[in-house]
Structure 1
Amino acid sequence: MTREAPQLTAHRTATAVAVAGTLWCVAYLTTGFSIEAVAYVFVPIGAAIATASVYDLTRRTRTPQARGFWRGILIALVSITVGYAWLAVDMLTHADQARTRSMPAPAAAFAGVGFLIAIWALGRVPVVAAGGVERWRMLLDRTIAFLGCAAVVWYVGLAPMLSAREPWSTQATLLVGLGFLVAVGAATKVSYIAGGPVDRVAIRFIAAAGGVPAGVVAVLAVQFGYIASVPAQAIVMPLAPILITLGVAAQGRADRGLRRDEDHVGTLLPYLAMILVDVPLIAVALGAPLRWPVRVVLIAAVVVTVLVMIRQYVAYQDNARLLRIARVQEERLQYEVSHDGLTGLANRALFRDHLTTALAESATGPVSVLLIDLDDFKTVNDLLGHGVGDRLLVSVARLLQAEVKDNGLSVRVGGDEFAVVLTEAGAGPEELAGRLLAALAYPISEHRLLVQASIGIAVAVPGETVDVVLRNADVAMYTAKQQGKAGFVRYVDGMGEPVLAHMQLGGELRRALDHDEFRVVYQPIVRLDGNRVIGVEALVRWHHPTRGVVSPAEFIPAAERTGLIVPLGLFVLRETCRQAVAWLDEFGPDALKEAGLNVSARQLHDPDFVSDVAGVLADSGLPCERLVLEVTESAVLRGQQVSRALYELDRMGIRLALDDFGTGESSLSLLRAFPAAIVKLDKSFVDGIEIDDGLPAAADARQAVARAVIQLAHALGLDTVAEGIESPEQVTALRELGYTLGQGFHLAEPMPAEGVSRLLARQQAAAAGSSSFGQAAGPVVFLSLRRSHPMSEERVMITKLNVTSIYVLDKDEALEFYVGKLGLEKGNDVQQGSYRWLTVRVPGDAGTEISLEQPGAPLHDEATAEQLRELMAKGALTGLVLNSDDVRGLFESLKASGFTDFTQEPADHFYGTDMGLRDPSGNPIRILQQGNPTP
């Protein structure tokens, strides 16, 4: 059973009682089949039903305020039910006296107390909260309503009762008076109830249950005397339980969230009261005698009229006040709709309207538009916060108004973009643009910030639309930014085509990413004291299907502007890490120290950037310490998000390089705030560093920044790389200053991965050749020895100068040496007492592999020795892994194969030692042990 079921049952039962009373009354009055005392039974029965319904509601209502109100109504109903039950029993007991018998005093007392409790419960419910004029208006409305209702009740009820020939009993007078009071008070009170936890509709039903039946019964009693008692008791008063159960149902619906919308009965009530006051007056006008009750009504009508006049005056004043407020709000809204809330300048909407009007009246003079965009304003917001940025915009707006004055309309288009519409013939747009740039050349706002701007100028041609003029100004402004910012450009015909092409470039970038049109090239970073490659910097190139190779200077800004720099940078990162791992696998861990790439501020702002880098490193297998991420000073100064990302990367072990060092304004302070491991000297400080004009002071000045950077880096324990080296003289000058690493076109141009591989191969070939004594006539072969159990401490070096050079070094772990780009790979599971070839690659054909395995077979087997001779003759032998047991047998086999002139030296004699020998290229010959980082 739903919650609503008991409420509906009570309502239907109360209705059934009222219907039964009505049917009985009709039958009694028409046939007289029963006794009059029965009429008094229906009221207590209906009251008992209503009491039970209210009791059930008090148990289910959870809100304290609502529960308190309904408990008061419950107590009132119990008292009224007892009173009318007492009356019914008394009438049935004295049935023969029912027509003339008065209501017993106890019954009247219970009923009267019940009415008073009901009035008290209703009185506790607050009226609508109001203040000021509204409070006085409501007080007047309630007074008018009360007087109007009271005048009618007086005329039709109380006055006849008091002027009756036969005096009324005290009980009857009190009950009728209470009935009138409940009726009038309920009518005026419930119209202004605020509601809340107690439902407004429920309160009105309760008020009607007390007021309407009481008022009707009182009027009937006054007008018809005892004749009206039967219909009053059997028909009218049983309506009260019906209204009460309806109120209970309304409260139940409100508790379930089904409250009805607010109504406006209180607004209409004063007007209804005025109509009611006119009823007695109409009766007098139609011929009723002008007795003293009517005079009371006349007095009430006069008072009501005066109150209505006062109310109308108050309403007039209030309406006038509201109209003033509405007018002010309308003006404010119109201003807000057409002006920028921050700067007070005209906004985009007013800008277009004003420009449209100016173009329509362009016959009176030329119309010019200046579009002004602040350069690098985002940096201010990121570093100093949006509050400082807003105050800076306000300062720029004031400056703009001061320069434009009354010659045009100053506009904030949005963000950091402003505009000016000039319509005066004497105001030249170029002159104004120059004044604006000159004014912006001085620090502004309380932070004394230096702000620059790019300005585009468009002079309207007769017949041009607003959109065309704005587009031309935008193109001119974009061109000014491309030309280096902090300047202005006037639009000319044809200017839009290259700008449009550049903007369309952003759309092509997405397609290029999807169609794999980007390639990664690498510029080696080399040691300045021997041209040895120690690292690479990855650079991206775009191979356009129709335009050929697109310069990074052309497409990188478009990628930054569109946000595609993020996926493009991720592509470069993946390729760089993958290729670095390939080089490490091919040439060993000492061949290449690190691989780096540039990272933009837009990438560092991406919240997923750090996790993307970690994911790429995990997927590729590249150690974190071998990855270098290069960032510019301007990128580092881009706010807390960038700073957090850089410190997270540093904690991962990734090396961070400060690129283009020395070009910013905060380079020195950045070295302490930024977790840099490498400083890259900008090319601008390398250019001219080698010039020797015979003036020491001039040379010192040219080298001052480079010298300061290397000294600062050494003091902070940072590595340095000189960029943009283009001559051997620059190399010499940088080495003298203390620089050990550099990159530039003189050292090596950017090249594909294959080019770097060739460099590393030649580098290893040179290192391998340096281990022989003298210049070898044939290819160099190294044999790496893996030790499986203890052997003698004797180290053996075997050479055959006229054919080849063989170097065998016995040590606890196998040593690895490399020839060119041919990597010597370690063998696995070398069996004791056997020899196993490693991979053998034929020079010149990296795709050909010859594998020769003879587990268990002695190396001095004639067939194996013959294969050795053939491979050595072809230069294809790159390495052997030997078991240490048969070293002496190996020597014998090699002797039998034609190798002679063996010599023996301690191994320590060769580790990292310059033997005074030179290879065919003139480089020093050194013998290196694996894991020894010192050249």
Structure 2
Amino acid sequence: MRRHTVATAAICLLGTLWYLCWVAFTPGPVAVGYLFMPLSMGIAGLAARSLRRAVPPAPAGRRFWVLLEICCYLFAAGFTLLAVAAVRTAPEMPAMPPAGAALIGTGVLVAMWGVAQVPLGVTSWYERGKQWLDRTIAFLGCVTVLWHFGISPMIWASEPWTASAVSVLLLACLFAAGSITKVAYIAGGPVDRTAMRLVASTGLGAAAVALLAVLGGYHGILPGQAVCMPVCGLLIALAARRQMRAAVEAPRGAANVWLPYLAVLAVDVPVVDVLIRARFWAPGVPEGRLMVAAAVVVTGLVAVRQYVVFRENTRLLREKQESEARLRHEATHDPLTGLANRALFRRSLEAALATGPATVVLADLDEFKTVNDSLGHDAGDGLLVAFADVLRAAAGPGAEVARLAGDEFAVLLPGDTAGEAVAERITAATALPLGEQRLLVQFSAGLATAARGTPASRLLRGADAALYAAKQRGRANWVRYADGMERPASAHARLGGDLRRALDAGEFRLVYQPIVDLRDGRITGVEALVRWEHPDRGLVSPAEFIPAAERTGLIVPLGRWVLRETCRQAAAWIAAFGPDVLDKAAPNVSVRQLHDPDFAADVAAAVADSGLPANRLVLELTESAVLRGQQVSRVLHEVHAMGVRLALDDFGTGESSLSLLRAFPAAIVKLDKSFVDGIELDEPGTPAAEARQAVARAVVQLAGALGLDTVAEGIENQEQADRLRRLGYTVGQGYHLGRPMPAEQLTEIFAARRRVAAAA
């Protein structure tokens, strides 16, 4: 690239020096002045060719540089014919040969086609049309100036120029105008913007030649040929060099938006010139008409463009306003139900309390998580939308309904409106199936009313305490807040925090209740039960802290600890007293644990780390935990495949106990305590005795037919044990057979049993 640039620059310098010498000394014929242009364009074509070989451009860029190379060769050939004609007509200056004019004109058309093919990165019809409007304005402005100062004087001169010369210059001027308007809108792409600007500048060389010819007449032709025209080759060589450098540089610049307005000013220049020279409506010279017409067209197009810009600005402003309104709505409303969110509800509540009393109804769906787990989140979302519609209808006009979080909703009733009527309407509406799934659901609600000036947080705490009280009383219930009602709720909340601390501090202990062979009283297994030794409250009942652990999700890490500790202790007993010391160690598993994605991995890790044989581990599950959908079923089958046994606890109390034995991979069924209580008091022959014993007998026979083991729970005396043994039960559990005890006490029992066996 440097060689080509230096060569074309040298040719331009030589042409300039020759012309200066010719003017000063007239050293030789004018034909020499026609040699510089074909030489310059020939080298420019070689520069374009070298560029394509050195840096293979993208297809669009390659097409542009190929067409530009062809243009250079056509120019070189056309001006070579002009130089030959100059030799023949020496010492007079030659006229443009028709063949040369055809070659040069074809070269200009090829260059125009190449420039037109450069992509601008505009895809939409709207943007493309707007850009074409801008480019038309700019093109007409440029053409008007070039026509007025270059082409028109040649056409209307006293001695008219040849048609071939005028045609070539006209095409060159059109190329200059088109290139300038094109390059103004190139911000990047396969052809570098600076390189395109250099190529576009070549058209100005033709305009300069035309201007020199008009101003200098016969004496203006030679400087145009020797000085101005060779610069076109230099510009093309510089453009090729710039394109090569752009291949390793980031694109720069942006499209110009001021060009159409500059074109309006450009049109005013020839109009002013016409007025100054008093040529307006001159006889036989339609120059004034053309200038005025061009000015009218350009200004009219600019007016159209301004209208388009106005329309676009109006559209952008409308879209901005709609976007802002949408963002405000999204920031204050729930996207699923369209109800107000917590932030908007809080502001509405504060505004209502600032002007008068207000009532808040907090409501949530009972067992909503069961719907999500069993039917999927789509069904759960549909249920939430349907319940939101119920609340809207029940609240009536003037009320504010909001979704606070999950399945928790709130209704704000301004004034002293009683919330009981709203709760009754919600109860009546939820008595019918809701949503596309036609689900029959229940809800719990808490009501609270506060006077004017009451802090919103206090009213919300009261409604929340009432909701907690309603749930404590049972599902499908609603309660109005009364003084002191928040104390159990706050204690329950503090209990959750204490649970987290207790887990970290290691305050939980395991006790083990023996599972005994009813025939000889031998301990065959243990059930692991968790206890909490609170540093201040002492021993906390599982009935108190297990529901809190379930609600807060801490049951998952707590259950993981129980599982690992049970496996560790059972493996230690087997290692100390032999494999016959116990057949099973059974921790309880909650439904929240079964939904934990790591549960199966936790079981495998607990068995592997402790060394406990997998078939000695028994996981006890309730029927309600098992009936939780495909996810739970998959996890249970995965655990069963490890060799771990599964026990169905509280068997006989659910609605699907018999069907569960076929779908659930159970190894053990545990007869619920309700069928054992009082079994020894029933007199033979009475209906109650026959029914109680029939259930117990049916369970053991069904389990035997399916190859399952049975355990009778809740045995409180020897009479119950004897009756169950006669019914076919061989294993039992209860306070009569053994209370839950620490691991150390069981260790002493196992040690004593081994000493007795050794003595025997």
**Deviation for aligned residue 1:18:** 7.8
Aligned equivalent of 1:24: 17
Aligned equivalent of 2:541: 551
- Contact 1:10–1:50 (CA<8 Å) still a contact in 2? no
> Which of 552, 571, 577 is matched with 1:581 structurally?
571
Q: Confirm whether residue 360 of structure 1 aligns to residue 360 of structure 2.
A: no
Name whichever structure is richer in helix by fraction. 2
> Which of 169, 173, 177 is matched with 2:166 structurally?
173
Partners of 1:696 and 1:247 in 2: CA distance: 112
SS for the counterpart of 1:819 is: helix
> Which of 47, 62, 70 is matched with 1:67 structurally?
62
Aligned equivalent of 1:118: 111
**Deviation for aligned residue 1:16:** 4.4
- Contact 1:407–1:424 (CA<8 Å) still a contact in 2? no
Partners of 2:495 and 2:452 in 1: CA distance: 32
Alignment of 1:166-315 (within 5 A): 166-191=159-184, 196-199=189-192, 202-206=195-199, 208-233=200-225, 235-241=227-233, 243-245=235-237, 247-248=239-240, 251-252=243-244, 255-256=247-248, 258-260=250-252, 262-263=254-255, 265=256, 267-290=257-280, 291=282, 292-315=286-309
Aligned equivalent of 2:74: 79
Q: Larger deviation: 508-517 or 646-655?
A: 508-517
Letter in 1 for 2:495: L
Letter in 1 for 2:409: F
Q: Larger deviation: 464-473 or 715-724?
A: 464-473
Aligned equivalent of 1:590: 580
Q: Cα deviations across residues 763-794 of structure 1 (Å, max 9, x unaligned)? A: x4xxxxxxxxxxxxxxxxxxxxxxxxxxxxxx
Aligned equivalent of 1:889: none
CA shift in 2, pair 1:653/1:546, >3 Å:
same
CA shift in 2, pair 1:199/1:687, >3 Å:
farther
Q: Cα deviations across residues 805-849 of structure 1 (Å, max 9, x unaligned)? A: xxxxxxxxxxxxx433x7x6xxxxxxxxxxxxxxxxxxxxxxxxx
**Deviation for aligned residue 1:361:** 1.9
Alignment of 1:584-623 (within 5 A): 584-623=574-613
Q: Unaligned stretches of 5+ in structure 1?
A: 1-5, 765-817, 825-877, 880-935
CA shift in 2, pair 1:496/1:245, >3 Å:
farther
Aligned equivalent of 1:675: 665
CA shift in 2, pair 1:341/1:15, >3 Å:
farther
Aligned equivalent of 1:902: none
CA shift in 2, pair 1:324/1:577, >3 Å:
closer
**Deviation for aligned residue 1:540:** 1.4
Q: Larger deviation: 48-57 or 688-697?
A: 688-697
Q: Cα deviations across residues 876-927 of structure 1 (Å, max 9, x unaligned)? A: xx59xxxxxxxxxxxxxxxxxxxxxxxxxxxxxxxxxxxxxxxxxxxxxxxx
Q: Confirm whether residue 473 of structure 1 aligns to residue 463 of structure 2.
A: yes
Letter in 1 for 2:376: G
Partners of 1:17 and 1:457 in 2: CA distance: 96
Partners of 1:242 and 1:373 in 2: CA distance: 81
CA shift in 2, pair 1:327/1:611, >3 Å:
closer
Aligned equivalent of 1:159: 152
Aligned equivalent of 2:371: 380
Letter in 1 for 2:569: Q
Q: Confirm whether residue 148 of structure 1 aligns to residue 141 of structure 2.
A: yes
CA shift in 2, pair 1:148/1:739, >3 Å:
same
Partners of 2:245 and 2:430 in 1: CA distance: 68
CA shift in 2, pair 1:171/1:719, >3 Å:
same
Q: Cα deviations across residues 662-715 of structure 1 (Å, max 9, x unaligned)? A: 444444433322211122233344445555378833445556655554444334
**Deviation for aligned residue 1:468:** 3.9
Q: Confirm whether residue 102 of structure 1 aligns to residue 92 of structure 2.
A: no
Alignment of 1:505-516 (within 5 A): 505-516=495-506
Compute the TM-score of the two structures, normalised by the length of structure 1.
0.73
Q: Confirm whether residue 636 of structure 1 aligns to residue 626 of structure 2.
A: yes
Q: Confirm whether residue 418 of structure 1 aligns to residue 412 of structure 2.
A: no
CA shift in 2, pair 1:467/1:729, >3 Å:
same
Q: Cα deviations across residues 548-568 of structure 1 (Å, max 9, x unaligned)? A: 222223333343444443333
SS for the counterpart of 2:734 is: coil
Partners of 1:407 and 1:706 in 2: CA distance: 59
Letter in 2 for 1:100: M
Partners of 2:287 and 2:453 in 1: CA distance: 85
CA shift in 2, pair 1:722/1:341, >3 Å:
same
SS for the counterpart of 1:504 is: helix
CA shift in 2, pair 1:469/1:197, >3 Å:
farther
- Contact 1:524–1:749 (CA<8 Å) still a contact in 2? yes
CA shift in 2, pair 1:738/1:303, >3 Å:
same
**Deviation for aligned residue 1:746:** 2.6
> Which of 333, 336, 346 is matched with 2:340 structurally?
346
- Contact 2:362–2:463 (CA<8 Å) still a contact in 1? yes
Identity across matched positions, percent: 54
CA shift in 2, pair 1:700/1:404, >3 Å:
farther
Q: Unaligned stretches of 5+ in structure 2?
A: none
CA shift in 2, pair 1:407/1:84, >3 Å:
same
Partners of 1:451 and 1:577 in 2: CA distance: 40
Letter in 1 for 2:67: G
SS for the counterpart of 2:603 is: helix
**Deviation for aligned residue 1:105:** 4.9
Partners of 2:560 and 2:426 in 1: CA distance: 41
> Which of 536, 539, 544 is matched with 2:529 structurally?
539
Aligned equivalent of 2:444: 454
- Contact 1:18–1:234 (CA<8 Å) still a contact in 2? no
- Contact 2:530–2:542 (CA<8 Å) still a contact in 1? yes
Partners of 1:705 and 1:249 in 2: CA distance: 98
Q: Confirm whether residue 405 of structure 1 aligns to residue 404 of structure 2.
A: no
Compute the TM-score of the two structures, normalised by the length of structure 2.
0.88
- Contact 2:524–2:584 (CA<8 Å) still a contact in 1? yes
Partners of 2:470 and 2:230 in 1: CA distance: 90
CA shift in 2, pair 1:704/1:188, >3 Å:
farther
Partners of 1:455 and 1:11 in 2: CA distance: 88
**Deviation for aligned residue 1:163:** 0.6
**In angstroms, what is the RMSD of aligned CA positions?**
3.5
Rg (Cα) greater in structure: 1
Aligned length: 754
Partners of 1:257 and 1:461 in 2: CA distance: 71
- Contact 1:409–1:421 (CA<8 Å) still a contact in 2? yes
- Contact 1:680–1:721 (CA<8 Å) still a contact in 2? yes
Partners of 2:208 and 2:697 in 1: CA distance: 110
- Contact 1:457–1:476 (CA<8 Å) still a contact in 2? yes
CA shift in 2, pair 1:126/1:715, >3 Å:
same
- Contact 1:379–1:637 (CA<8 Å) still a contact in 2? no
Alignment of 1:911-926 (within 5 A): none
Aligned equivalent of 1:802: none
Partners of 1:697 and 1:646 in 2: CA distance: 39
- Contact 2:141–2:264 (CA<8 Å) still a contact in 1? yes
- Contact 2:366–2:444 (CA<8 Å) still a contact in 1? yes
